[in-house]
Amino acid sequence: MNNIEFKHLILNAKYFTKYEPIINIKTQKIFAYEALSKFEIDNNLISTEEIFRHLHHNNKLFFELEKRNKLLQIKNFPKKKKLFLNFDADICVSNEQQSYWELFLNELKDNIVVEITENGSDDETSANIMRNFSLWLNSKQIDTALDDFGQDGSMFSFYMMNGSKYIKIDKSFLRQIECNRNYLHYLKGILKTIRLNGQLSIIEGVETQADYNLVKTLDCDYVQGYYFDEYQIVV
């Protein structure tokens, strides 16, 4: 697929947003929602990860697409809860992009948490872009969440971890614990560190009753996953 064909497909794709609840583990009530995006191209659902791998080579198209997507995510979100929005640092590198997102986020900052996502690359350039994005968000006093902590292929950065209000523990932890219970002690240590640092933890990947029973025994703040209800908007 060439760049022209890809751009045409992306701009004309049907766009889905699922709002997945984030549950307070102690009260068992909904604390917030995360907006999760998918695109339908030729009747096939394609993950945002697949789309974004292409978009990282086209910053202008990536920025324009995310402007549309974030506006729709906000517009179609009726709940009076916090909304976690995934942001890739690569769409906030130029002065134009920073000016746009500053205005967009400032109007919503009391209800928005920016999830800082990775593009799958751990090279020095990507690390610097993410670090600068985190620094920029903190300077604007916008709450952030470090997404997918512990995911395969993700980079670990004390700076990124220390600069985030929320730490989202990747679902791979629960999957590993299913195979080897020794990893439970590792997870407990991470959760203790997060709490001692005055941060808030969110365990992702709660998909079964067994998962939920396990996380209720842990000293975490919030949980998230397919075990809980979600609703979907199609545009």
Using CA of residue 56, residue 60, residue 66, residue 68, what is the dihedral sign?
negative
Helix (H, G, I), strand (E, B) or coil at 47: strand
Spatial separation of the C-alpha atoms in residues 222 and 27, rounded to whole Å: 10
> Would you say domain 3-230 falls under CATH 3.40.50.300?
no
> Which residues are paired to 41 by β-bridges?
44
The reported pTM is 0.88
Spell out the per-residue pLDDT of the chain, length 235, in tens: 556 666 766 777 777 888 999 999 999 999 999 998 877 776 666 666 677 777 777 888 889 888 988 998 998 887 788 999 999 888 999 999 999 999 999 988 889 999 998 654 456 677 888 889 999 999 999 999 999 888 877 777 788 888 899 999 999 999 999 999 999 999 999 999 999 999 999 999 999 999 999 999 999 999 999 898 766 555 5
Using CA of residue 165, residue 171, residue 175, residue 176, what is the dihedral sign?
negative
User: Cα separations (Å) of 87 from 4, 29, 35, 147, 179?
Assistant: 25, 26, 11, 10, 32
Please report, for the chain, the start and end positions of each structural domain, with discontinuous segments joined by +. 3-230
